[in-house]
């Protein structure tokens, strides 16, 4: 009896972005130069596969710098950190290495310049996300001069009570839904007509490209897998885009979660991956599907990404092999 045929379409682009690759490379090069253990403040990127692999190599992820022995090396994650965390690192005599994504650093610079220019800042983002904490932490808490407010949705915008005399500006988390962020920005502009925003969109190129790529898959598939971890903001935004169209969608962190029943009565399956998810899981998923089905695989054309972010000057980029790319 012949196997049932399933058509698999792969979104492009998908998986690792330049900021994630850079952050992982920094951790690997630090391990190579100084040896284990190496400490990282929070998860360097939000992907359990990567974190587990780095754990095995001697990387220890901590939520508090006080957990780290003095004079140890600590890496700040791709999401960035507040000024207070950097200051604490100095006070504890830690040797810090910054793996903050350059696009997040750009937002930090925006916030600092706006603060220097006397603006009250509104940040669009998700409460509790490390990137949001790091960006909002560019403004000292209880600062007498400047304030920064967080809004997650239009309802939060409606609740804002900021004096009209204040100069206002907004920034955003880099991994948000493009469509939802536009709605919030429009609500801000309606409430505060004089509010200003960044010259270029804060939502990063990789987030935008992956959201546009998954939109191409809608209405053509009866199931779409989003490879990514539950705490990955950009992966969850991809999942929401699919679910909003009432299409079956599954966020898959690792193959231990896979269930054969998901394939029942499915003819056309799409696969995409968040910007912090490695391609190896995509390949493992396809291999698993092939065990029970005959498959036809096609790549959906999309934007080609060739962005590479430089590593800190202390590293020689030429000698680094990036193992997660394939």
User: CA-to-CA distance for 102 and 35, rounded, in angstroms?
Assistant: 26
Burial class (CB within 10 angstroms; exposed 0-12, middle 13-18, buried 19+) of 129? middle
- Residue 264, classed as helix, strand or coil, is coil
Residue 288 falls in the annotated catalytic set: no
3-state secondary structure 219-239: CCCCEEEEECCCCCHHHHHHH
Can you spell out the DSSP letters for 67-136?
A: GSPTT-EEEE-TT---HHHHHHHHHTT-EEEE---HHHHHHHHHHHHHHHTT-EEEEES-TT-HHHHHHH
Catalytic residue among 131, 140, 152, 288: 131
Q: What is the DSSP letter of 143?
A: -
**How many angstroms separate the CA atoms of 72 and 93, rounded?**
8
User: How many residues does the structure list for the chain?
Assistant: 326
169, 115 in Cβ contact below 8 A? no
Contact yes or no for 203/176 (Cβ under 8 A): yes
Return the structure tokens found at 12. Answer: 């492009």
**Which of the residues are catalytic?**
131
């Amino acid at each position: 009896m012949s196997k049932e045929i399933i058509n698999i379409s792969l979104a492009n682009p998908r998986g690792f972005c330049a900021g994630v690759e850079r952050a992982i490379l920094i951790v690997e090069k630090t391990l190579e130069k100084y040896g284990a253990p190496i400490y990282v403040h929070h998860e360097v990127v939000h992907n359990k596969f990567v974190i587990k692999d780095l754990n095995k190599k001697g990387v220890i992820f901590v939520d508090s710098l006080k957990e780290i022995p003095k004079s140890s090396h600590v890496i700040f994650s791709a999401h960035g950190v507040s000024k207070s965390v950097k200051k604490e690192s100095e006070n504890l005599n830690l040797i810090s290495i910054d793996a903050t994504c350059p696009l997040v650093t750009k937002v930090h610079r925006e916030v600092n310049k706006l603060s220097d220019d006397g603006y009250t800042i509104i940040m669009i983002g998700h409460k509790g996300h490390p990137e949001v904490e790091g960006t909002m932490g560019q403004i000292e808490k209880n600062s007498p001069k400047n304030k920064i407010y967080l809004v997650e949705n239009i309802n939060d915008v409606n609740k804002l009570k900021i004096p009209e005399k204040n100069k206002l500006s907004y920034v955003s988390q880099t991994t948000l839904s493009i469509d939802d962020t536009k709605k919030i920005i429009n609500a801000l502009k309606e409430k505060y007509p004089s509010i200003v925003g960044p010259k270029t969109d804060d939502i990063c190129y990789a987030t935008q490209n992956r959201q546009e790529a998954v939109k191409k898959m809608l209405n053509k598939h009866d199931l779409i897998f989003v490879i990514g971890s539950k705490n990955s903001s950009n992966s969850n935004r991809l999942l929401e885009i699919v679910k909003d169209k009432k299409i079956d969608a599954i966020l898959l962190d690792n193959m231990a979660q896979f269930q054969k029943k998901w394939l029942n009565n499915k003819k056309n399956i799409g696969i995409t991956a968040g910007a912090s998810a490695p391609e190896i899981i995509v390949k493992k998923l396809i291999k698993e599907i092939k065990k029970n089905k005959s498959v036809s695989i096609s790549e959906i054309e999309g934007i080609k990404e060739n962005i590479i972010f430089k590593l800190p000057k202390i590293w020689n980029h030429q000698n680094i092999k990036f193992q997660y790319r394939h």
